[in-house]
Amino acid sequence: MKKILVGLKRAVDYNIRVRVNSGGTGVETDGVKMSINPFDEIALEEALRLKEAGHAGEVIVVSVGAPEAQQQLRTGLAMGADRAILVTTSDPLSPRIVAKTLLALVNRESIELVIVGKQTIDGDNNQTGQMLAALWDRPQATFASKLEIDGDSLQVTREVDAGLEVLDVDLPAVVTADLRLNEPRYVKLPDIMKAKKKPLEEIALSDLGVAAEAGVKTTKYAPPQSRSKGVMVDDVDGLVSALTDKGLL
């Protein structure tokens, strides 16, 4: 296998409490720490391990969106990716647009394996990998918790409601990474300095022949309602009375 493509999305850091902005048009990002979507970071770690085991010659990271995503791509390069591609656009993105963008890069770069996170922690759509596999007309293995390569095929252990399921898929293929696939490596300062010299290509979305067509339109954001305080009861009769007052009995 020559090349692995990994998608990286810029998202609010998972340690940060998300707040809706004053206009209700989205979440607050000004002055907020942004990081690689955690599931995408796991996807990159797995790609790097495959390369280190001799199963791939090159790992390419790609992000779609604003120029600020260069920061996350540089982090990916510091982790060990060979080069990065930033597809720039100011238009709203949907999983379908991102999948089409990845497909254009797959065809341009002759990619044999695409690994992406199973979902992003902002949109939580869990759609991009599946859409890419459908558009590419290649096998997919979602929610991967273990990945092994055997020649021109992958053996993927995936997490399902009933436990674990093992799939054999032929390459080229799409894999989406679950939480327990691995633990991403810690990026050291020397690696960050080396990453500055690695190639990062910028290309406009339109130059790939992908139109940012309108799909789902978000009309308003609102925070969840605050929880009311709990009620202390002294005995079973008090519990039954409290539940009855709330209409639960």
Residue 1 near residue 57, CB atoms below 8 Å: yes
Residue with tokens 């308003």: 220
Domain count of the fold of the chain: 1
Torsion angle of the four alpha carbons 170, 171, 172, 173, in this order, in degrees rounded to the nearest 10: 60
pLDDT at res. 177: 96
For the domain that residue 83 is a member of, what is the CATH number? 3.40.50.620
- What order of strands is seen across the sheet that includes strand 173-177? 163-170, 153-160, 140-150, 173-177, 113-117, 3-7, 58-65, 83-88, 200-204
Q: Structural domain of residue 173, as residue ranges?
A: 3-245
pLDDT (tens digit per residue) in 95-138: 999 999 999 999 999 999 999 999 999 888 999 999 999 999 99
Task: Report phi then psi at 130, rounded to 5.
Answer: -65, -40
Return all residues near 223 (Cβ < 8 A) that are at least 6 apart.
Answer: 19, 20
pLDDT tens per residue, range 145-201: 999 998 889 999 998 888 899 999 999 999 999 999 999 999 999 999 999 999 999
Of the pLDDT bands very low, low, confident and very high (cuts 50, 70, 90), residue 1 is confident
10 beta partners: 36
Instruction: Please name the helix (run of DSSP H) or strand (run of DSSP E) that holds residue 157, with its range, or none.
Output: strand 153-160
43-52, 87-96, 215-224: the lowest-pLDDT one: 215-224
Least confident of 155-159, 211-215, 231-235: 211-215
- How confident is the model over 49-83, as pLDDT tens digits? 999 999 999 999 999 999 999 999 999 999 999 99
CA 123 – CA 114 distance, rounded (Å): 20
Query: Inter-axis angle of helices 70-79 and 38-52, to 10 degrees?
Result: 30
Classified as helix, coil or strand, 12 is: strand
Q: What is the DSSP letter of 27?
A: B
Per-residue DSSP letter, 233: -
Asked if pLDDT for residue 84 goes beyond 80, the answer is: yes
The pLDDT, as a whole number, for residue 216 is: 77
Tell me the residue type at 111.
Answer: I
